[in-house]
Structure 1
Amino acid sequence: MIKVVRGNPTPEELAAALAVVQARAAATAAAAAADGGPKGPEGWSDPARIAQGVRHRPGPRAWARSYWPA
């Protein structure tokens, strides 16, 4: 849901803003599908999501990124 909190946009301005939001959402979904990454809530528990692009450094919770299930 989109809510206008300030100003008085015309219907054309609202349609243009909605088109931009829909195009951005479609591009993000297409990139995720092409990436082959996990989709949906099950992706939050995927260890690959946690370790992706993270350099291992000593510190708090460093042990959590040291385990990679086979």
Structure 2
Amino acid sequence: MQLPISERVALANALLSSIEPASGADVSQVEADAAWDAEIAQRIDDIDSGRVKTVPSSDVWKRIGGKPSGRT
């Protein structure tokens, strides 16, 4: 578990890709899930490393002029 999360996700996706999909499996969904997993892992790495900073949601809502409908 010494690899960064993005590399662990890439390794896990490579291992999963090497397995024959179950009969009737939607391979495109598997590929989409793998792409999202990699994107999420990269974003987590970016935050953890300090390459990007998060913004509190209250600041975002102030900047765009309010909250979405149905929220208080």
Same fold (TM over 0.5): no
Q: Choose 1 or 2 for highest CA Rg.
A: 1
TM-score normalized with structure 2 length: 0.37
TM-score normalized with structure 1 length: 0.38
